[in-house]
Amino acid sequence: MKLNAIIVEDEQTSRDILKNYLSKYCPNVNVLGEAENIEQALVLIRNNDLDLVFLDVEMPYGNAFDLLEKVGDINFETVFVTAYNHYAMEALNAHASYYLMKPISIDELIKAVDYVTEIKSKEDALQDQVLVPKTNSVSGKITIPQQDGFEVINTADILYCKADDNYTEIYLNSNKKKLVSKTLKYFEDALNDGNFARIHKSYLVNVNEVVKYLKGKGGSVVLSNGKQLMVSASKKSDLLSFFK
């Protein structure tokens, strides 16, 4: 699959190295243009249909996060390229698909491109389709602790779970909500029957309740009750693999 890309990097040498690596080792990447600051990048983003943006963090007159904020809703994947590893958490919060450290490792660059290629292929395959999970809803049960004992609920009745520090909010298709003194990781492990997907650090969803996938800054899903939940870039490929 061909990926239309741009390189946003203020140093000419770094742009040339990345472009050369892409040409040699990632031939499916078509570099449409280069930008040395966020204003030039905005022009390229608005005038091209992009799949991928290689984005340096530190640039003159603003950084990568300023650029993404100005762009708003986007439908391309972002690979951050930087010499500073302390931006990793911010990059994840900005829904970066991959984080490359300078000097760029060819192996890591290939992994980043392969990951984005996989995501875009799955998105294109699912575009304009009604989402049908590969797994069928099962009538399993789970117990949730309460002060006076525990409650048994059907896993099929769970729409999604949301992290709340060391608690988890469980949203049911009856419009009821349960607050449980267990972490989201606990429920991710407990609900491992193939019908639940961790889509974000804060969300675990019942894939049988997902009716629509929306491209965007990090992507999002719409559930059967109309609730829209954000998908983190690192979880996007895993989520899309649940669907035909």
Provide the CATH number for the domain around residue 66: 3.40.50.2300
Residues 147 and 98 both lie in one domain: no
Q: Considering the domain boundaries, does residue 135 fall inside one?
A: no
Report pLDDT for 137. 45
Q: Considering the domain boundaries, does residue 132 fall inside one?
A: no
Residues ≥6 apart with Cβ < 8 Å to 81: 9, 14, 18, 54, 55, 56, 57, 100, 102, 104
The pLDDT tens digits of the residues spanning 158-214 come to 999 999 988 999 999 988 999 988 899 989 988 887 789 999 999 999 999 999 998
Q: Residue 89: which pLDDT band, with cuts at 50, 70 and 90?
A: low
Q: What is the arithmetic mean of pLDDT over 106-133?
A: 81
Residues 121 and 146 both lie in one domain: no
Average pLDDT, the chain: 86
54: left (phi over 0), alpha (psi -120 to 50) or beta: beta
Q: 87 is in which domain, residue-wise?
A: 3-126
The pLDDT tens digits of the residues spanning 126-158 come to 665 555 565 554 458 888 877 667 788 889 999
Report pLDDT for 105. 95
Is 99 a residue whose pLDDT tops 80?
yes
| Greater model confidence, 139 or 97 | 97
**What CATH number does residue 230 fall under?**
2.40.50.1020
Residues 153 and 43 both lie in one domain: no
Given 126, 151, 183, the domain boundary residue is 126
Is this model's pTM higher than 0.85 or not?
no
| Greater model confidence, 234 or 11 | 11
Residues 122 and 166 both lie in one domain: no
Q: Considering the domain boundaries, does residue 136 fall inside one?
A: no
Residues 93 and 150 both lie in one domain: no
Q: What is the arithmetic mean of pLDDT over 86-99?
A: 66
Q: What's the structural domain count of the chain?
A: 2
Residues 61 and 120 both lie in one domain: yes
Helix H, strand E, coil C: the string for 64-133 is HHHHHHHHCCCCCEEEEEECCHHHHHHHHHCCCCEEEECCCCHHHHHHHHHHHHHHHHHHHHHCCCCCCE
Residue 210 main-chain phi, psi, to 5 deg: -80, 125
Residues 69 and 12 both lie in one domain: yes
Report pLDDT for 91. 57
Is 51 a residue whose pLDDT tops 60?
yes
Residues 91 and 114 both lie in one domain: yes
